[in-house]
Amino acid sequence: MASLKELAKNAGIFTAGHRACSGCGGAIVINQVMAVAGQKTIVAMPTGCMEVVSTIYPFTAWSVPYIHVAFENVSAVISGVEAAYRSFKRKGKITEKWNFIAIGGDGGTYDIGLQSLSGAVERQHKFLYVCYDNQAYMNTGIQRSSATPLGAHTTTSPTGTAIPGKLQSRKDLTEIMVAHGLPYVAQAIPSHWADLTRKVRAALDTQGPSFINILAPCPLGWRYPTNKTIDIARQAVETKFWPLYEVVNGEYKLSYQPRKEMAIIEWLKLQGRFEHLFEKKNELIDKLQDEINNKWAKLLDKCKK
């Protein structure tokens, strides 16, 4: 594993001056990912927050080659870049090793981009897909996605007198990717940078497609103070909302065991998007806790096997 000192050498691949909000979890994710990936990396992004904040013409925050085409097709785009690379390599036009990384938000990954992601990994293109999951369409102003958790307020699952936020549970995309039979799938979070960077290294060293789902707290959408991003991320792990684990060639491995029991309510309290759940007794909190307990038990079971 690379030391922080070594990783710091790659600081600035995603340069200062990008226009992300202060405390943006997505920007921290990209910085950590790129610190491992280094200069010989081609980045593709779908439309989304990080695309919008990083490349407003005539400026770019990318000091590595970068391409954006549209919202739902980043995996297809990187497929084409990677295919061109294989073609050039076979013909001797390129000799160096390159990394190919697609970085998308949950909208571009869980929802509109799921088809092209599924296709690209099934075809076994050698690339890493990083989802920075901030659990809603933050770029367009906090609309629900299939990654939005139960009970959360968004502008398209608003808290009203009849409906208390999102009534549906979030999609478990990490498990969907495991079901594709990828050689490397993991969940990570920027508060645990050593774990995150180790996983990025492992993914880039994988022969074939790899996928890392990274929870990226969003101060604006989750409604918490901008200096709390890392705290919120840590609590997501401690409450087992976001378990850190990896699946290498189908073998599950837990990356981190929370030290003590912490109820999900502790995490929900920190975020304005859940504040309506506390106005009166709300069964959604219990439902969410049950869901987390069940998933955690299943995960531990898979890790034991």
Is 281 a binder of another protein (CB under 8 A)? no
Name the nearest CA neighbour of 131 among 202, 216, 199, 217. 216
d(CA 136, CA 169): 13
User: Does the CA dihedral 140-196-34-90 come out positive or negative?
Assistant: negative
CB of 158 to another protein, least distance (A): 28
Name the nearest CA neighbour of 73 among 33, 113, 21, 26. 113
Is 203 a binder of another protein (CB under 8 A)? no
Is 87 a binder of another protein (CB under 8 A)? yes
Structure tokens at 210: 């790899």
User: Does the CA dihedral 293-177-114-195 come out positive or negative?
Assistant: positive
**Beta strands 245-248 and 251-254: pairing type?**
antiparallel
Select the span of 77-85, 157-165, 199-207, 249-257 touching another protein (CB under 8 A).
Answer: 77-85
Name the nearest CA neighbour of 120 among 84, 82, 90, 88. 82
Degrees, nearest 5: CA angle 55-59-61: 60
CB of 80 to another protein, least distance (A): 3
**Which of 1, 8, 11, 83 is in the footprint of another protein by CB under 8 A?**
83
* Residue closer to another protein, measured from CB, 34 or 268: 34
**Which of 14, 27, 35, 62 is in the footprint of another protein by CB under 8 A?**
62
Q: Binding residues for another protein, how many (CB under 8 A)?
A: 46
Is 21 a binder of another protein (CB under 8 A)? no
**Which of 2, 15, 38, 52 is in the footprint of another protein by CB under 8 A?**
52
Name the nearest CA neighbour of 247 among 212, 222, 204. 212
Is 67 a binder of another protein (CB under 8 A)? yes
**26-45: contacts with another protein (CB under 8 A):** 39, 42, 44
* Residue closer to another protein, measured from CB, 96 or 261: 96
CB of 277 to another protein, least distance (A): 36
DSSP codes of every residue in 120-181: HHHTT---EEEEEE-SSBTTTTSB--TTSPTT---SSS-B-SS-BS--SPPP-HHHHHHHTT
- Looking up tokens 């959408």 gives 221
Q: Is the peptide bond before 58 cis (omega within 30 degrees of 0)?
A: yes
* Residue closer to another protein, measured from CB, 129 or 267: 129
Is 5 a binder of another protein (CB under 8 A)? no
**Which of 60, 155, 227, 249 is in the footprint of another protein by CB under 8 A?**
60
* Residue closer to another protein, measured from CB, 82 or 195: 82
Contact at 8 Å (CB) between 11 and 206? no
CB of 305 to another protein, least distance (A): 31
Altogether, the residues listed in the chain come to a count of 305
* Contact code string over 121-140 relative to another protein, x by CB under 8 A: -xx-----------------
Select the span of 71-79, 160-168, 169-177, 261-269 touching another protein (CB under 8 A).
Answer: 71-79
Q: Which residues bind another protein (CB under 8 A)?
A: 39, 42, 44, 51-52, 55-58, 60, 62-70, 72-73, 75-88, 90-91, 94, 98, 115-116, 118-120, 122-123
